[in-house]
A and B are shown apart, each in its own frame.
Chain A
């Protein structure tokens, strides 16, 4: 009786119809069906944060969302942050500050920073650290990431 269903998802403002059953996560759908490969599979356990996306504006782990439960919600991935080829202020700040090294954690990291900036446009160092505390980065030591977000918030 249990087979994959057709699920309608709104991703970066576009409607997509995907196949998903109860074991299909949003990360599976993004990467395997929609080639939205920005969200990365770093651990598939919800610890590393490389798969972070925005669900109704909040940062969540795509690897821990059952795709079918995301119907009717607004999903934003890293691919959806640009506008007409212009990077978002957060993305541009990361680029200018030199926060990017290997880049694998970056989509998730930027998403967390975006969620923070949308909720708190003047966030300071402690709030920034808190917002990115669930995004593991093995390369940067976090300093330039915090620098980047501060350059946007002025905090």
Chain B
């Protein structure tokens, strides 16, 4: 502890790097440049699930300015992955999600690299896509990772089929406890996939020196993880990998494991030149990570007086295509599923499942927000059933000092009740809870409690006394923007009683920084703060030792004084740190260095109390507690929820920098509002539909209130630096259930599916449906959960509360639909009426084979063809496959229609037309252009202009149509034409082809 009172810890000093950020001088990865630098582009897989059959990189290599083209085939089989080693530098043998990096190019400029990447020709054999949890867990499901059994795993994983981790945590005896309960609530909750949407897209710059050592700067949360991932992916010794981070423009968990670093390092090694890759926003959305979508069945039982006796939870987390840290996310979710309450009988079981989507991984909350949405919604539902106020029910069961968390850890200081009472009082809960309607809106307030953790794994710090008596602090902590550089500098300054300007907090560098797992788990202030504080203490001791010699005084009579001095207690006699430094460097002892190293050392889980199967953690960290209340107004015309005010109380132990703590709470809250109300990644088959800020909306200044009240609660953490705990994540964790509970208070409706979109709210309000999870047949188009049956025995006690069938994706926004009814139909695959008409038309014309080079324009037609038993649908990836299919159909006496979207066009049309012409083979081709390309339909105009003379020369009849709905009649006519005439190919083009003659005879 300190000799004098605190002077810098507890002040809201501006961030050390704020000036640089505000003048544009702060450097992020894309601002860096090295001599002779090349630019890289990454090619993502167009398929959600496919075997890689061959690569042809000749055309790409031949582009002037290209210096290297690499694919997975160029590298040995080096498994990588943080918990399960299921991935490689670049896709090898298989691709498992659309956007998965399969190849990369380095060239003299970014545009050349991108163009060349598009010329890389990869042959795929499409495999069945597994897009939902249920599909992945079904009997006989296609395996996404056939080799899962052989993969190296760093924990005792229970796995099977597409389940990468099955875990179970139990305490007490849940089965027996139900019979003691007077009230039981059991519901199913669903949450969506959220994009991190940090403002700085993923980027990395790597260069190689003459010894083969790779230096890599990247936008990332952990230099240690970059170093490990690059070394592992490329089979290098870490002695040959140096990782640094310049300023990082946000991360939130999406940059904890490899982004593009291994690929960029590989390009640098291949070319011998520095290479920089900066992902486009669209690529970043599609290639990197998301938050897990989940389905959670939760059951809670209580006595009439509100004492909760039992909690059961069954979690299904959708991991996407690679395991990443999913097993940890699931495990943490299970651990948090009891909530911050003293519930003696608990059973939490979870499955984490591979699907053919972008992988899900850590994201602010790390599995907790989903389970807290379920748990805190259910607490309110239980309160309803008991006739209790929601805060009263929570107070009755809340953990307090000395209580044990699920898992057995004793929480010596638990500020939950403090937080909950402050939120209740400051929000004027009782008044706002009365709710009310005015002006077409209904207002209400809701609350949620939360617990979280900070800590985890290991770290270290080195503090050195510089020659002039100033201080140097070296840690591996990366500041993603949360303010850790500043907070850690404050801790060091406080510990040694110097001004912060005397502390040189150096940038993380794996060459010189001690190991730090990473910036995540809200752990930097607590873990690295402890390390810095301990290292500074060692420096303090050594300073006192030197001073005692210099002053010829007993060490016990000495103390530090503000301003970098050692003073004899009660006197004016002192020496400055400069003097001490001179003494140690040139007199006695040598340079003064203090260090600290530790692995989180709190109480481990207690296996006698909590049975754990498949759980990847032996220990975690210090528990955090908070409470959040949110006031909303729901628009009764549209169902849109407007958040008006929030009161967010978090027990941070000690706010090292209160302004920074407030900023973290406010920022976490706003990110939570997006999660609660409208953020959602949407899939159409395997393709992400909204990989852009145009289509994936995050909250802007008009979408959130100004009245966000962070309430800093300080019940000091005995093991924390100056009593501090973490705050990075908790601000996010309770927001969604607080809002759902507020909506319930305002409108009477209970929604159990995120996001709480206006559609879901309005539909529920109109159906007056107190128990429905969401509207039937047409909510937003999330595809991950088709709830037809739960894979394990469903234990729902009120069947009508299980959500109705959710229909999977519907067409991308660019697809126009036929006029007339668009009423969706029931059944597991949703076929739009337009697609149905199209398919009927095809069958009517005698077509039994449809081959397509698909993109997204006619996605619903492809689905309809697939779903139809009379049509054989063949998606191809290369137009070169089409003639073969046509030939096969012809020889078998069957009629085939070839469909090509934009990418087909000239490259496709010409060879196929020639092939058919040469072999006198009747074929009908449909070329489709998007309608959404600007003032003139450029594709149609351009390609029709260049293709028309060619088609004329080959005397191939073709027909132009303007609208998608005219394609079918034209196909019919074209088929009749192909049948009856000697012309081999009849071609149908859609889109606007103006001023070109129509040849079709009809």
Contacts and interface: CB of A to CB of B under 8 A. Distances in A.
A45 B692 contact: yes
B666 interface: yes
B553 interface: no
B200 A140 contact: no
B23 A82 contact: yes
Given A101-B481, A146-B701, A138 B671 contact: yes
A95 B18 contact: yes
Contacts of A140: 663, 666-667, 670
A67 interface: no
B460 interface: no
Interface string B336-354: 0000000000000000000
Interface centre among B199, B200, B481 (most CB of A within 10 A): B199
A91 B698 CA distance: 25
Contact of A129 (B12, B24, B248, B701): B701
B199 A132 contact: no
Interface in A84-109: 87, 91, 94-107
Contacts of A41: 30, 201, 278
A36 B21 CA distance: 13
B28 interface: yes
Contacts of B15: 98, 100-101
Interface residues of A, number: 55
Contact of A103 (B481, B669, B694, B701): B481
A87 B249 contact: no
Interface centre among A31, A110, A142, A145 (most CB of B within 10 A): A142
A97 B662 CA distance: 11
Given A50-B199, A138-B197, A142-B701, A79 B667 contact: no
B770 interface: no
Interface string A27-49: 00001000111111111110110
A106 B15 CA distance: 14
Contacts, number: 178
- Grouping DSSP codes into helix (H, G, I), strand (E, B) and loop, the B interface class, with mixed when no group exceeds half, is loop
Nearest to A103: B21
B139 to A, nearest CB: 42
A107 to B, nearest CB: 5
A143 B667 CA distance: 9
A78 B24 contact: yes
Contacts of A142: 666, 670, 700-701, 704, 706
Contacts of A100: 14-15, 18, 21-22
Contact of B663 (A43, A101, A133): A101
A94 B666 contact: no
A103 B700 CA distance: 16
A11 B17 CA distance: 25
B75 interface: no
Nearest to B203: A41
A113 to B, nearest CB: 11
Contacts of A96: 14
Contacts of B252: 138
Interface string B653-674: 0000001101100111111000
B708 interface: yes
B706 A146 contact: yes
Interface in B270-319: 278, 280-281
Given A47-B692, A100-B22, A138-B198, A133 B702 contact: yes
B693 A47 contact: yes
A146 B698 CA distance: 18
A144 B693 CA distance: 23
B25 interface: yes
A43 B693 CA distance: 7
B23 A87 contact: yes
A134 interface: yes
A107 B27 CA distance: 12
Nearest to B671: A138
Contacts of B609: none
A128 B21 CA distance: 21
Nearest to A50: B199
B23 A98 contact: no
A140 B19 CA distance: 17
B249 A103 contact: yes
Interface string B194-214: 000111110000000000000
Given A102-B248, A129-B706, A134-B700, A141 B667 contact: yes
A125 interface: yes
A138 B199 CA distance: 7
A99 B659 CA distance: 9
Contact of A98 (B197, B663, B706): B663
Given A43-B281, A138-B698, A98 B667 contact: no
B21 A106 contact: yes
Nearest to A101: B481
Given A100-B15, A133-B700, A42 B281 contact: yes
B199 A137 contact: yes
B694 A45 contact: yes
Contacts of B247: 102-104
B444 interface: no
A91 B669 CA distance: 25
Given A42-B281, A78-B24, A144-B663, A136 B14 contact: no
Interface string B684-699: 0000000011100010
A141 to B, nearest CB: 4
Interface string A119-152: 0000001000110111111111111111000000
Given A38-B25, A42-B199, A95-B22, A101 B667 contact: yes
A25 interface: no
Contacts of A77: 24
A135 B699 CA distance: 10
A78 B692 CA distance: 26
Contacts of B12: 98
Interface centre among A37, A41, A138, A142 (most CB of B within 10 A): A138
A133 B659 CA distance: 23
Nearest to A134: B700
12 contacts: A44-B281, A45-B694, A48-B199, A79-B23, A94-B18, A95-B14, A95-B22, A98-B14, A100-B15, A102-B247, A104-B28, A133-B700
Given A50-B199, A91-B23, A142-B704, 14 more contacts: A35-B33, A38-B23, A39-B24, A42-B201, A81-B23, A102-B482, A110-B22, A132-B701, A139-B482, A141-B704, A143-B666, A143-B706, A143-B708, A144-B663
Interface of A: 31, 35-45, 47-48, 50, 77-79, 81-82, 87, 91, 94-107, 110, 125, 129-130, 132-146
List the 10 closest pairs (A to B, CB-CB), nearest first. A38-B24, A102-B481, A104-B249, A103-B21, A141-B666, A98-B659, A141-B670, A47-B693, A78-B24, A104-B199
Interface of B: 12, 14-15, 17-28, 30-31, 33, 197-201, 247-250, 252, 278, 280-281, 480-483, 659-660, 662-663, 666-671, 692-694, 698, 700-702, 704, 706, 708
